[in-house]
């Protein structure tokens, strides 16, 4: 056999399992840095080469082998997570899952290890199948046997759904933001009426008269909050979110018709819009989804203040607290979904509040923070590469930041060319440098992806430990409500 050299193999002891009479475990060739699935026993269907030294089949980590391993070992497939507290841990490199596992272990949070949006897949050059498979190999490596989820994040149209369905995803985040009419916030009543009349009422299965009669001037008593929609506020909510609700219904029906007998989780996200979601609008959206018999497990409204990428909450904490209390009152009134915190990474100042008011019904969604922890390792073990990545980020920031909510200023990024190598990692804690690095990941991976992954594979223990500490800091403040 010439695929691997036994002298250079590192075995991941946690991965070893004897299931139904066949032995499975994972190894890494410490020279090539490639990982292999080792199978001893029933090797039917696996693709690889027999090692004459031990008689085992050594299999590359390819989709066909991943698919068969999932078929044989049931906990290697994702499953719906329902209303249990959960945390989405996006991984733009496909290497972070073992670190995520070490953070979530022995907590009540159900982890969503495979989480990627269409936008992220386009920028990282990954497919839904790659995202799910790479998460699965990390789960296998770490010996995780509990439930986990796979989130197809920020789906905007039905064309995006099919590849995630085929890959085996179990959590679908519908983003109808492009159908939200932000102009309705300031439109005069006469324009609002025109917009409401033009809504797709066949999809909404109602009409303006009936909906106005349902909601108008009726006191809605929630937990410590009383809502009453005036005609103007109701018209504004209809005009602003009517098409988005119709779009969500279409996406939901497409899922039902294409996913077969599988069950799944649905999240509704309106966080990537221009204006905050008022508590009245939150109630209206939830009420309409209920009326249309759409089953969903979490919702992400757009909160007051700024939930920017990679940094803490920006805004008046007293205002946020007051609004959060109202939003969670709506959530608890319906009782069938969790509050989802999008762009939730590094929002340390609000986690305890979210835990207190959501009472455990919470989903934390993170993405690029795991990539930033990877760069923290790079800064320490390959400072030259880190400097190149940051310079590329500065060059690309104006273009790559266009689709993200960030406010970093290039002129505020510290001069780093002559910075002492021991202090480079401190730039990951600097507001402007951190955001520049966060949103330019696609450009960095396109140019330096192989070098980044090579450095991390050579320093896995450091990367996994950094992720463990970083995510523990996220999850610990949220435990109070669980």
Nearest Cα residue to 443 out of 410, 409, 397: 397
CA pair distance 339, 423, nearest whole angstrom: 38
Query: Contact, 312 vs 348, CB < 8 A?
Result: yes
How many CB atoms lie under 10 A from the CB of residue 76? 19
376 close to 430: Cβ distance less than 8 angstroms: no
Which pLDDT value is given to residue 4? 64
319-328 pLDDT, tens per residue? 999 999 999 9
CA angle 342, 348, 354 (to 5 degrees): 60
Active site residue ranges: 153, 267
Tens digit of each residue's pLDDT (9 = 90 or more) over 241-251? 999 999 999 99
Question: Stretch 253-264: mean pLDDT, rounded?
Answer: 96
| Structure confidence at residue 2 (pLDDT) | 54
Can you give the pLDDT at residue 373?
A: 98
Mean pLDDT computed over 355-374: 96
**Do 179 and 247 meet the contact criterion of CB atoms below 8 Å apart?**
yes
Cα–chain center distance at 30: 31
- Residue spans of the domains in the chain: they are 6-70, 369-471
The percent of residues above 90 in pLDDT, for the chain, comes to 95
To 5 degrees, how large is the angle CA 284–CA 289–CA 291? Answer: 95
- Tell me which residue has tokens 């044989």: 72
- Examine the pLDDT at 177 and tell me if it is beyond 80: yes
Rounded to 5°, the CA angle 40-45-50 comes to 45
Residue 365 burial by CB count (10 A; 0-12/13-18/19+): exposed, middle or buried?
A: buried
Q: Is the pLDDT of residue 219 over 60?
A: yes
Return d(Cα 362, Cα 109) in angstroms, integer.
9
Please tell me the predicted confidence (pLDDT) of residue 224. 84
Which tokens belong to 328?
Answer: 């969670």
> In the structure encoding, which two tokens stand for residue 271, read together?
């966080």
If pLDDT is split at 50, 70 and 90, which confidence band does 415 have? very high
Q: How far is CA 44 from CA 4, 21, 394, in A?
A: 21, 13, 51
Contacts of 187 (CB under 8 A, 6+ apart): 195, 236, 239
Please give the average per-residue pLDDT across 432-440, as a whole number.
98
Q: What's the CA gap between 472 and 478, in Å, rounded?
A: 10
Residue from 47, 51, 69, 73 nearest 60 by CA: 47
User: What is the enclosing helix (H) or strand (E) of 219?
Assistant: none
CA dist., res. 415 & res. 411, Å (int): 9
- Cα separation, 373 vs 315, in Å, equals 25
CA distance 291 to 88: 28
CA separation for the pair 470, 455 (Å, rounded): 19
- Per-residue pLDDT at 274: 87
Give residue-wise pLDDT tens across range 303-346: 999 999 999 999 999 999 999 999 999 999 999 999 999 999 99
Say yes or no to pLDDT of 6 above 90: no
* Mean pLDDT, rounded, for 128-149: 98
What pLDDT, in 10s, does the model give residues 137-146? 999 999 999 9
pLDDT of residue 1: 43
For the chain, the straight-line distance linking the first and the last C-alpha, in angstroms and rounded, comes to 51
**pLDDT band for position 3 (cuts 50, 70, 90):** low
Question: Locate tokens 């795991």: which residue?
Answer: 370
What is the mean predicted confidence (pLDDT) over 203-227?
A: 92
- What's the whole-number average pLDDT of the chain? 96
Confidence at residue 47, expressed as pLDDT on a 0 to 100 scale: 98
Cα angle for residues 286, 292, 294 (degrees, 5° grid): 70
């Amino acid at each position: 056999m010439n695929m691997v050299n036994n002298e250079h193999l590192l075995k991941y002891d946690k991965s070893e399992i004897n299931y139904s009479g066949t032995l499975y475990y994972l190894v890494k060739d410490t020279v090539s840095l490639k990982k292999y699935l080792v199978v001893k026993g029933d090797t039917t269907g696996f693709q690889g080469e027999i090692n004459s030294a031990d008689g085992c089949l050594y299999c590359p980590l390819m989709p066909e082998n991943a698919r068969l391993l999932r078929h044989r070992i049931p906990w290697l497939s994702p499953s719906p997570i329902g209303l249990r507290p959960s945390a989405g841990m996006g991984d733009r490199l496909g290497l972070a899952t073992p670190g995520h596992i070490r953070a979530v272990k022995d907590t009540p949070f159900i982890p969503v290890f495979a989480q990627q949006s269409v936008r992220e897949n386009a920028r990282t050059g990954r497919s839904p199948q790659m995202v799910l498979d790479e998460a699965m190999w990390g789960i296998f490596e770490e010996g995780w046997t509990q439930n986990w989820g796979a989130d197809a994040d920020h789906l905007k149209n039905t064309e995006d759904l099919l590849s995630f369905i085929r890959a085996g995803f179990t959590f679908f985040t519908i983003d109808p933001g492009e159908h939200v009419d932000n102009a309705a916030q300031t439109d005069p009543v006469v324009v609002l009426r025109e917009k409401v009349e033009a809504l797709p009422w066949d999809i909404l299965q109602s009409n303006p008269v009936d909906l106005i009669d349902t909601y108008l001037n009726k006191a809605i008593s929630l937990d410590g909050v009383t809502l009453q929609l005036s005609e103007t506020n109701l018209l504004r909510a209809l005009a602003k979110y009517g098409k988005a609700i119709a779009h969500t219904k279409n996406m939901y029906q497409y899922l039902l018709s294409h996913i077969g007998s599988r069950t799944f989780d649905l999240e509704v996200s309106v966080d990537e819009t221009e204006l905050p979601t008022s508590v009245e609008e939150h109630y209206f959206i939830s009420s309409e989804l209920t009326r249309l018999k759409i089953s969903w497990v979490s919702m992400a409204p757009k909160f007051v203040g700024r939930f920017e990428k990679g940094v803490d909450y920006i805004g008046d904490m007293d205002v946020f607290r007051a609004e959060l209390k109202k939003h969670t009152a709506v959530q608890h009134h319906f009782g069938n979904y969790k509050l989802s915190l999008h762009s939730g990474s590094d929002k340390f100042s609000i986690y305890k509040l979210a835990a207190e008011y959501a009472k455990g019904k919470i989903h934390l969604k993170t993405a690029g923070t795991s990539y930033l922890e990877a760069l923290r390792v790079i800064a320490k073990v390959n400072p030259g590469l880190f400097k190149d990545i940051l310079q590329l980020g500065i060059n690309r920031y104006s273009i790559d930041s266009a689709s993200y909510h960030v406010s970093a200023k290039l002129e505020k990024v510290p001069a780093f060319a002559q910075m002492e190598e021991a202090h480079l990692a401190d730039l990951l804690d600097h507001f402007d440098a951190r955001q520049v690095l966060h949103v330019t990941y696609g450009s960095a991976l396109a140019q330096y992806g192989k070098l980044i992954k090579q450095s991390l594979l050579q320093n896995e223990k450091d990367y996994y430990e950094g992720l463990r500490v970083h995510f523990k800091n996220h999850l610990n403040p949220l435990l109070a409500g669980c």
